[in-house]
Amino acid sequence: MTNLTINGQSVEVPDGTMVLRAAEKLGIVIPTLCDHPDLTPYGGCRLCLVEVKGARGMMASCALPVTEGMQVTTESPALYQSRREILEFLLYAYHDRGYVNGQKGETQFEHWLHHFGLDPAKDQSPTTRFNPGSDPNPVVWVDLDKCILCNRCVRACEEVQGRFVWGLTKRGFDAEISPGANTDMLTARCESCGACVAYCPTGALDNKPSVGAGKPDRLVTTTCSYCGVGCQFDLNIKDDKIIRVTSNPAAPVNGMHLCVKGRYGYDYVHHADRLLKPRVRAYLLDGTAPKPAHAGKGWDWVETDWDTALDITARKLDSIRAQHGADSIGVLTSAKCTNEENYLMNKLARQVIGTNNIDHCARL
């Protein structure tokens, strides 16, 4: 363990901890843009500069390991001025065309601009350099005029998703984030998981289905229904409709990580063909009615309540088992159920019905 002092407060952290993480342990907020706790330190934006007693100049706290007895200052007039100038430099190449970023609240970049008294609408570059939305990816919106080269999308693609789609090309003022060998995202083998969007602090990468949808009224934390892993995320609700999905860093299973289905496959919720109530054949509602010929009277679907539908199902299963034996019944469970729900279906098949005829369609 290493002992150090930050703004006069003593803290003990494991050897190798970065000063930025040590400050977080004390509840001290140091401005940063390129850093994220899920990603390797980068030290690119320099917004997290701090002063260290005995060191020459200011140092990037996100990439500065702690040392025994280190004395760190995170706030001073010189640091404030340096951070403000860094944000002014970033704004020199930043241009927002005015479409509303759909996340709830400010982007991280906007937050620090406002904190240091800068107005992105007034202080941004008056000219544009890139064509927004030109990448053919069906779900990821790219606007490089809002990119500040923080490199978070590059590291997220490499370290979270393991795809290595994004990279840095060219040099100096002409440097830009580019997929593959200066190609498009899909050609560079992008899986459209949206990890780069989730980690982008400026809105340069956004969810294409949500561009123009505006900001949500509220967020609802829920569990993904596509498989049994149990990933959690936030549904962004506007006018009682889902307009986007955003990662919830507090999710115990997945954190910021989601697959393409979890992040973008929510349109089925409001689909016109979605069934909202159980349906049964009309003749089944009359327990004494004989089964009609296919497409005959009584064959049409009728909405009913869950208790009625489940009661009909239980009676039919019991009747078939009594007449033909338990092995005449097979159970097919769903990959959209949780592991616990599939476990219960296993118990139903083997211990209630009495058959080993059970399979699981976990083939996403």
List average pLDDT for each run of 10 residues in the chain, which is 364 residues long. Answer: 95 95 96 96 94 94 95 96 96 86 82 94 91 93 95 96 94 92 94 95 93 91 87 95 95 94 94 93 81 77 94 93 96 84 93 94 62
Domains of the chain, residue spans: 2-75, 126-263, 275-324, 326-364
Tell me what pLDDT residue 97 has.
87
- Report the distance separating Cα 255 and Cα 199, nearest Å: 12
Q: How far is CA 268 from the centre of its chain?
A: 18
For residue 303, the number of C-alpha atoms closer than 13 Å in the C-beta half-sphere is 3
Query: Look-up: residue for tokens 């706030």?
Result: 75
Q: Is 246 exposed, middle or buried (0-12, 13-18, 19+ CB in 10 A)?
A: buried
CB count in 10 Å sphere of residue 194: 31
Would you say the CATH fold of 126-263 matches that of 2-75? Answer: no
3-state secondary structure of 25: helix
Question: What is the assigned CATH class of domain 126-263?
Answer: alpha beta
DSSP states of 157-225: IIIII----EEEES-GGG-EEEETTTS-TTTTT-----HHHHH-SSSSEEEGGGTTS---SEEEEEE-S
Tell me the CA distances in angstroms from 151 to 114, 132, 179, one per residue in order: 22, 19, 12
Tell me what pLDDT residue 179 has.
95
Tell me what pLDDT residue 198 has.
95
Give the fold, CATH level 3, of 2-75: Ubiquitin-like (UB roll) (3.10.20)
Tell me what pLDDT residue 362 has.
66
Tokens (6 digits) for 11 = 């803290």
Tell me what pLDDT residue 363 has.
59
Tell me what pLDDT residue 337 has.
80
What is the sign of the dihedral through the CA atoms of 193, 195, 200 and 201? positive
Q: Can you give the pTM of this predicted structure?
A: 0.84
